[in-house]
Structure 1
Amino acid sequence: MVDFPVAKHQENGRAAGPRAWLVARIIALCRGLFGAIVDAVTQRRNFILFPFAMIAGLIFYRVVPGEPSFIALALMNASALIVAWTGRDVTPVREIALLALMFSIGTTLLPLHAVLFGTPMLDAPRYGTYTARIEAVTYDDGAQQRWVLSNISGELDWTIPDVRLARVTVSGAYDVSPGDEMTARIRFYPVPPPAVPGGYDSQFVSHFDGIGAYGNAFGEIDITKSGQGGLVRVVKDVRTAITARIVAQLDERIGGIAAALVTGDQSRITEADRDLMASAGIAHVISISGLHLTLVAGTMFTCVRFLLSLGHGITQRVPIKKIAAGFGIATALAYMVISGMVIPAVRSTIMLALVFAAIIAGRQALTMRNVAIAALAIIVFEPTSVFRASFQLSFAAVIALIAAYELARRNRENRERPNRSRALALALDITTTSVIAGLATLVFTAYHFQQTAPFGVLGNLMVMPIVSFVMMPAALLGTLLLPLGLEAIPYAALGWSIEAMLWCAAFVRQLSGGFDPSPILSPLALIVALLALAWLAYFRTRIRVAGAILAVPLISAFCLEQPPDIFIADQSQAVAVRSGERVALIAGRNNTFATTIWSERYLTVIENAHPATGCDSLGCVLSTQDGYTIALVRSRDVFDEDCRIAEIVVTRLNAPPQCRKAATLVIDASDLARHGAHMINWNGPDLAPTIRTAIDGPDRPWRIQPQ
């Protein structure tokens, strides 16, 4: 091991002076970091960094302004592979080259995915009577459904959207399954861009999922039943039947939540209940994830092992623990399929399969390598999931919990475990797990949902015993007994547990008084959080927590966003302006999709209208309290005047070149068509305004080019 020089008089600590003390601390930190790296390399933990390198490659591909060529990507992968192969006998070269290879593979995954599953994007609305095949039913609340359609055909070729798949909203309840054919009047329209900078990008996700258009069906819909669909159809029918039985036994509200726990169908959960559980920090309970898979598969494992252990002869002849592990794997796989194979469920199933397989093989079950294997599998088969909240929240929580488990295990090896009552141990375990998972997912929750749930620890402490010992065992038992018609009692217990959970959530929200100090984070915060997770996962010693600790000041200093001063929608007429303490519209209507997203994203109340705004048929002008004037131009006749008197000009027309020379900033129709919604901060007369746009990379394949 390399020995660092020790500062003179280090043994005297602070007595040697602040500078010497600081130098000594830095040297000690370098020693600890070097020792942690050597330990991690010795333990072959570089494999744990493979998914992080792939994610870095995916991010690189996502943010580059232009589409990289396949030749360049192929050369980069070939170069990394050659270096890794030629340097395989030199450990540092091999390990660095392998990480570079994972990075280059990450940059290639999305283009390859687009070739295999992607689609052109519809660029203009189409209307007509179409026949199509139903591939999936993604939403069904009893009053409205969403279908994914393929093989779209119509009477007039020029009206047929050139897309692989389309998502269509249908009013009413139809008994359809994958493989059925439908004929209806449909209005197809382009997939909308993000509503705010850094917001959910449906164009990006839909392009790689093969969905190139959205639509609405009107009038009568003819359904032709088909025996096609295979396993997908069977699974859909089973999920529908289970949901119907649950809702029939329980009322619509409680049954909707119960159905979400069993089949993953959240379409019947009301927004009020979602907000209630989110405010108490227990929204994760209704999203099938590792918690649910672990409880269900773990319950099956425990029950099978207990029943087999009752027969003394059986325990002598067969390995009951391994048999129980096999039942655990089968249960996890079945639950994953019934729940719709969402990303958290797939990740958790892979993890549980690895854990139970390790039990069968007699190996250590809970390791960070298993997390890396699960991450690699999901990244390869669904790379767009990396950019979704479910993937980020799921893996952040699992990495933090396993890191804590590894640290606790090393501490237990060096000290005697104190005697504690089981109830106290359970409460401490729930509290610790809640705190660790909550802190690990804090950045991602604040970024995606603008919620931090500061009283989430209390909410989880109250709810998790109900979930662990009543809710999920009752859901498992009721579903197993459902083919026999004996599900009434277990599902009744499931309903009671859900009512108890909602009561606990209401109590926590009332106690918190709505306090939720959520910051407005920039996308850079996600990068910092990713690096902190990689640090936490890679190292084994206590230095692993340094990455998470360092992330806090980095995010606070460099990753916070100020609410915009000017909000400009691209899909509607809405324009909102901050003047003093008020944010109000100078054009458009309030409580629309755009204004609702603005309010939620930036935690800002948008009022209906500024009283100081002067409007007529030609446009509007507002002189703000911050010292600048903004003009909204509706007619070409006023460009000359408004561009001279206003620092910022907004128009849905194409502004003349002389307007851009006169005004400080001009946002016109071409800007909105190419870059989407605009968020602007006025930085005073001496600095240029800060502009953030919703559409990044307007020339990428998933973007719709302006007409």
Structure 2
Amino acid sequence: MCTIAPNERKGWGRAKMVDFPVAKNPGQGRAAGPLAWLVARAAALYAGLRAAIVDAVTQRRNFILFPFAMIAGLIAYRVLPDEPALTSLAVLLGIALVAAWTGRDRALVRETALLAAMFAVGMVLLPVHAALFGTPMLEAPRYGTYTARIEAVTYDDGSQQRWILSDIAGTPDWTVPEIRMARVTVPGSYTVSPGDTLTARIRFYPVPPPAVPGGYDSQFISHFDGIGAYGTAFGDIEIEQGGEGGLARIVKDVRATITARIVAQLGERIGGIAAALVTGDQSRITEEDRELMASAGIAHVIAISGLHLTLVAGTMFACVRFLLSLSHGLAQRFPIKKIAAGAGIATALAYMVISGMVIPAVRSTIMLALIFAAIIAGRQALTMRNVAIAGLAIIVFEPTSVFRASFQLSFAAVIALISAFELARRHREDREHPQRGRALALMLDIATTSVIAGLATLVFSAYHFQQTAPFGVLGNLMVMPIVTFVMMPAALLGTLLLPIGLEALPYAALGWSIEAMLWCAGFVRDLSGGFDPSPILSPLALGVALLALAWLAYFRTRMRVIGPIAAVPLIAFFCLEQAPDIFIADQSQALAVRSGDRVALIAGRNNTFATTIWSERYITVIEDAHPAAGCDSRGCILTTEDGYTIALVKSRDAFDEDCRIADIVVTRLTAPPQCAVAATLVINASDLARHGAHMIDWNGPDLPPTIRTAIDGPSRRWRIQTQ
């Protein structure tokens, strides 16, 4: 049992460890009865939790909770139904800061107030970010001839490109969208750089909302990134080279040159994957290869992240240190380990720039810079505090990244791996382990790392991608030695030798390693037979996973594993969703209905954006046309096997009859008021315009249907306001 000795100066004081009384005989508690045994177990658990809290506090691990508190604030702001007043947010932040200052002499009050302040900062971050970088959202399509500045090229597959445009101007003035930037798709291939100016005919249109409840929200992300519209360019496009964007232009040209040299040597397929590893350009990777690697649980290999930065910077660190150690004089005069760490930082920064400075690369570079800086300062490198610092930096400068899969996956994996490292280190300090062969140790480390990272990211992968890759451990076990010892060192060496034209041999080894990786992925996929038992998770599952990660990161003792273990039944019992009975698209005519075991369209076309997202999100096959639906020019009627009737009304003449015979009425028109009185549920044009796509569950004749909408908070600043 733990007690805390009072200490007026420190507040928390020192933790005194007192033995908690337990039965000497393991079966003694059970002999006294199940209730007594449960009470004893609960008391022991409470004592262990109390001791773990005291240990964490005395080790000053409350700082580790700061990014989690900020994330909680971001989530709280995100889920509010209406936009909060800035004065309210300012008052909330002020109260938390004053409480932290006034309670600075009492540790418990101070730490609680600081966590509350971090929560308040999280709530304020997005409004501040919107004021600095946000944009109004285009409400209706615009078409005309425009002149704009090219800020970036975000996609290029050789047949089309996507550009980010700013300073948009045109005539007449009323056709010019009043937005900061727009993302425009351009057919063909152009040699452009940031700072160039284009003149072209462009059709701008509003940024689309999510296609499913809880799906990827383009409007939310685009608003805070300053992108207020999407667009498509037509006809002849005039490009005028600008004199600005010096560094950006150089970086773009370097990336384009490296990509072209790699593809020229290795071909479109293998070269496309190699270019993704070096420059981050994934536009040449085919969907077949993406699905192949995803099925084997190795899709993370082609997305530049902490794995790639660590391997490249770590390889440079090891090579520089080894080469310097060959000279006895240098090793005696200079701190070669610190010099090698400096080279690792420089390599990580260069790789981050060449890879396009995507968020995962930036996040990983910050983390690596902290690790190498700790080596230079003579401090311990792998600590949870460094993870917290990196998290705080990313959250402050890119708060919307918290809602993206890449942030969630990478930080979950890093937190789990460092937690395992801390537990293993404490275990090694307590016991002596026999020496194992290096090859066996390597295989065990890869398998252990794969299992830990896979379990840590399981919820996020299942939610965002509907993939769990149960054979991912085998896939990583086969592929990671290739990636670690051949692929990334070859990519690094080839890129370093590219300026002098000696990259052929390293890039050839890179190509061989990619072919070996694809073969391993094919072997794992064939072995699994397509088995992937992915659940359909609700957004609440992400909140439970966040709490489990905070618990895992905060504690140092074995008590830390209780959080992730407890998250499993919570998600299993409270966070699972089922595929809806009715799917209604907001921006197309698609309407799909479940009748018995089949889901089929009664309106609209299949294989569109909406139906594809529905199939992927809910792991459901949507058939082309429902055979039991009766349709004519006025609408469609379907009586399902579950006993309810749904009507799709296309003509105003059909409202009177269909509203009387149908339980659920769907229309793209404005339904008359009497229709809502006759039918159980009516979804009309205003509902679809305000709340987006609708997913409906039929709960029987005695309970109202459950409705889930894609647009939450239709009045928020990032939503397109409707009349």
TM-score, reference length from structure 2: 0.97
Alignment of 1:575-614 (within 5 A): 575-614=591-630
Match of 2:293 in 1: 277
2:112 matches 1:91: no
1:233 shift after superposition: 1.7
Aligned counterpart for 1:171 among listed residues 184, 187, 190: 187
2:631 matches 1:615: yes
2:522 matches 1:511: no
- Cα contact 2:23–2:29 (8 A) shared by 1: no
1:380 shift after superposition: 0.1
SS at structure 1 position matched to 2:282: coil
2:711 matches 1:695: yes
Alignment of 1:140-219 (within 5 A): 140-219=156-235
Aligned mates of 2:353, 2:118 — CA distance in 1: 30
Aligned mates of 2:80, 2:138 — CA distance in 1: 23
Match of 1:20 in 2: 36
Q: Which moved more, 1:447-456 or 1:11-20?
A: 11-20
- Cα contact 2:150–2:163 (8 A) shared by 1: yes
Aligned mates of 1:698, 1:599 — CA distance in 2: 25
Deviations 1:500-550 (A, max 9, x none): 000000000000000000000000000000000000000000010110000
1:656 shift after superposition: 0.7
SS at structure 1 position matched to 2:230: strand
Match of 2:417 in 1: 401
Aligned mates of 1:136, 1:702 — CA distance in 2: 22
Deviations 1:157-213 (A, max 9, x none): 000000000000001110000000000000000000000000000000000000000
2:379 matches 1:360: no
SS at structure 2 position matched to 1:550: helix
Match of 1:225 in 2: 241
1:417 shift after superposition: 2.1
Deviations 1:609-645 (A, max 9, x none): 1111111100000000001000000011111111111
Match of 2:14 in 1: none
Aligned counterpart for 1:537 among listed residues 542, 553, 557: 553
SS at structure 2 position matched to 1:611: coil
Aligned mates of 1:57, 1:493 — CA distance in 2: 47
Aligned mates of 1:293, 1:147 — CA distance in 2: 27
Aligned mates of 1:263, 1:620 — CA distance in 2: 51
Aligned mates of 1:360, 1:611 — CA distance in 2: 71
- Cα contact 1:54–1:104 (8 A) shared by 2: yes
Aligned mates of 1:58, 1:271 — CA distance in 2: 34
Aligned mates of 1:441, 1:454 — CA distance in 2: 12
2:302 matches 1:289: no
| Root mean square deviation of aligned Cα | 1.1
Deviations 1:402-461 (A, max 9, x none): 000000000000111211111100000000000000000000000000000000000000
Match of 1:305 in 2: 321
Aligned counterpart for 2:348 among listed residues 332, 335, 358: 332
SS at structure 2 position matched to 1:654: coil
SS at structure 2 position matched to 1:68: coil
Deviations 1:546-582 (A, max 9, x none): 1000000000000000100000000100000000001
Partner amino acid for 2:573?
Answer: A
1:230 shift after superposition: 2.4
Q: Which moved more, 1:231-240 or 1:86-95?
A: 231-240
Aligned counterpart for 1:557 among listed residues 544, 549, 573: 573
- Cα contact 1:259–1:266 (8 A) shared by 2: yes
- Cα contact 1:197–1:694 (8 A) shared by 2: yes
Match of 2:673 in 1: 657
Partner amino acid for 2:618?
Answer: Y
2:78 matches 1:62: yes
SS at structure 2 position matched to 1:511: helix
Distance 1:305-1:7 versus aligned 2 partners, 3 A rule: closer
SS at structure 2 position matched to 1:705: coil
Distance 1:641-1:6 versus aligned 2 partners, 3 A rule: farther
Aligned mates of 1:9, 1:473 — CA distance in 2: 56
Partner amino acid for 2:522?
Answer: A
Partner amino acid for 1:22?
Answer: L
Residue ranges of structure 1 left out of the alignment (5+ in a row): none
1:9 shift after superposition: 10
Q: Which moved more, 1:504-513 or 1:238-247?
A: 238-247
Partner amino acid for 2:350?
Answer: A
Aligned counterpart for 1:425 among listed residues 438, 441, 455: 441
Aligned mates of 1:576, 1:6 — CA distance in 2: 62
- Cα contact 1:8–1:20 (8 A) shared by 2: no
SS at structure 1 position matched to 2:200: strand
Deviations 1:52-90 (A, max 9, x none): 000000000000011111111111111100000000010
2:341 matches 1:320: no
SS at structure 2 position matched to 1:188: strand
Aligned counterpart for 1:625 among listed residues 641, 645, 663: 641
SS at structure 1 position matched to 2:562: helix
TM-score, reference length from structure 1: 0.99
Aligned counterpart for 1:441 among listed residues 441, 448, 457: 457
1:4 shift after superposition: 10
Q: Which moved more, 1:552-561 or 1:340-349?
A: 340-349
- Cα contact 2:20–2:47 (8 A) shared by 1: no
2:67 matches 1:51: yes
1:341 shift after superposition: 1.2
SS at structure 1 position matched to 2:646: strand
Aligned mates of 2:402, 2:198 — CA distance in 1: 34
2:140 matches 1:127: no
